[in-house]
Amino acid sequence: MKTHGVRAQQREQTRQALLRESRRLFAERGYGAVSLSEIVAEAGVTKGALYHLFESKAELFRAVLEQVQQEVAETVARTADVHDDLWTRLTVGCQAFLTASTAPGVQRIMLVDGPAVLGWNEWRAMDEAASARHLADALTDLIEEGTLAPQPVAPLTHLLSGAMNEAALWLAASDDPANLPATQAALARLLEALRSEARAG
């Protein structure tokens, strides 16, 4: 039993080393420019050890993407959940997503290489599991509360999620530091327009 425990610990240490180094390399240079040989050399393991844990470079990337998406989702939730008001939670959470997604490594892995490497359908499913589901829950609560007008949640969720992803991509490619506050202000106006519709009704 003790030997089994040591092996499991070594396996997890190897996995973490591969995730850490491949994430760094993918963030710096992009998926296509990084080889498995580089990854195992940086992680200090053999290719055999890598293939024991991951079937392919794409599967390793998927694990990295999952880690990045989870971290962004946790950041958003942590930032939003300190507020009791549902509307404030939504707006603060959306702004937190925008800020977290503009980090160069996050942007490249999550928004650029993610859909290209895994395909749009798989990437969307992962995005849905990591963050879109939470956005849908927040919108549902606001509709039930009466802060937002009654409407189907799914299309609204995809519209807002797509807008924020596209904005994050644009910001990451921009050299102008003024673009982030300008985009945050535009997002705030977009969200406020949704609330105004309910008030007008």
* CA–CA separation, 120 and 130 (whole Å): 15
Sign, CA torsion 122/130/140/93: negative
Q: Which domains does the chain have, with CATH numbers?
A: 1-54 (1.10.10.60), 57-200 (1.10.357.10)
Kindly report the average pLDDT of the chain as a whole number: 91
Q: Two tokens at 113?
A: 């290489």
pLDDT digits (tens, 9 = 90+) for 116-171: 999 989 998 898 888 888 899 999 999 999 999 999 999 999 999 999 989 988 88
pLDDT value of position 124: 86
Residue 5's pLDDT band (cuts 50, 70, 90): confident
Q: In this model, does residue 198 exceed pLDDT 80?
A: no
Whether residue 64 contacts residue 113, with contact meaning beta carbons closer than 8 Å, is answered with no
Q: What is the mean pLDDT of residues 51-67?
A: 96
* CA–CA separation, 146 and 194 (whole Å): 12
Element (H, E) at 47: helix 47-53
> Tokens 């980090």 — which residue?
103
